[in-house]
A and B are shown apart, each in its own frame.
Chain A
Amino acid sequence: EADIYQTPRYLVIGTGKKITLECSQTMGHDKMYWYQQDPGMELHLIHYSYGVNSTEKGDLSSESTVSRIRTEHFPLTLESARPSHTSQYLCASSHGSLHQPQHFGDGTRLSIL
């Protein structure tokens, strides 16, 4: 099992709230990723980081933001949640060498009412 942890697993919250989804890994991986996955659909990359203080937007536009202050921690924040943000969010990490497999967390299922 990969040592990457996401909290909370499930979150139901009202519109307009600020939300932070946590992701931590204990493998010392330089690279970390956030994906958005709607039910029965493919994963879409929304953010990634190749190291501390490095963050980039992914292919799918997202109103969320991320930070990478520590190697092991890659939180995702929504400043004002909306129903359109309802989805599953998956965090992943990989070793620094090129094209290493990504290790995934359990995901956070987010529902905005």
Chain B
Amino acid sequence: AQTVTQSQPEMSVQEAETVTLSCTYDTSESDYYLFWYKQPPSRQMILVIRQEAYKQQNATENRFSVNFQKAAKSFSLKISDSQLGDAAMYFCARTQGGSEKLVFGKGTKLTVNP
């Protein structure tokens, strides 16, 4: 089975500091897409950032950036200047088999301490 592994069930960070969430995945494909989604408590899951595997440049969206290491099959998310509103479950996901289907990791619960 092609899996996505998030090795950190829970993480915490102080407000205004930086935190990195890890994600590794298994694939035999050369072209695929990677995503980080955020799921706040009792709220909609929303996209944080997207990375195309054939692009070497790491994606960034304001305070969110990724460290994409294709050979290592690693896709970590860095959150800079953490805010209380960043507290949520974060899920890493990748496309499967050249399709629109996504395979998700188990998630990392991020707590932001004031």
Contact = CB atoms under 8 A, between A and B. Distances in A.
A39 to B, nearest CB: 11
A50 B100 CA distance: 9
Interface residues of B, number: 24
B43 A42 contact: no
Interface size class of A (residues with CB under 8 A): 20 to 34
A12 interface: no
Nearest to B31: A99
The 5 lowest CB-CB distance pairs between A and B, nearest first, are A104-B45, A42-B104, A101-B47, A99-B33, A43-B104
Interface of B: 4, 33, 35, 37, 42-47, 50, 52, 91, 93, 95-96, 100-107
B106 A41 contact: yes
Interface of A: 1-2, 31, 33, 40-45, 48, 50, 58-59, 90, 92, 94, 98-99, 101-106
